[in-house]
Amino acid sequence: MVLNTNLEHVKTEAEYKKIISENENVMICCGRMGPMCVPVYADMEDLRNDYKNIKFYDMLFDNPEAHVIRNLPECRGFMGLPFTVYYKNGKVVKATSSLQSREEITDILNSVF
């Protein structure tokens, strides 16, 4: 089960752990193909070219393996999809929920990475 995006997909907990441990800067957007999520994926696809030092991934929210994102303390209380989590050296440095504008995303990328 993967999302219909041009991003690299996180399908399992093992992949998730490998990605955040082997890459310094990672952004994972966990959601569905819904109206609040699709614009974030599109912005991530575009931003990949400008931020070569960051790895961009998506993860299907309804995948049982997505518990690794859904159950993060930083995501506790989130109500709207997608859950977007930013990792530096394997640690969560920022997490957001719901629709983010391209400007909001780039502000986060520039501040945490």
The pLDDT tens digits of the residues spanning 56-75 come to 999 999 999 999 999 999 99
Q: Which pLDDT does position 6 carry in this prediction? A: 96
Per CATH, the number for 8-112 is 3.40.30.10
Q: Which pLDDT does position 23 carry in this prediction? A: 97
Spell out the residues 6+ positions from residue 100 whose beta carbon is closer than 8 angstroms to its own.
40, 43, 84, 108
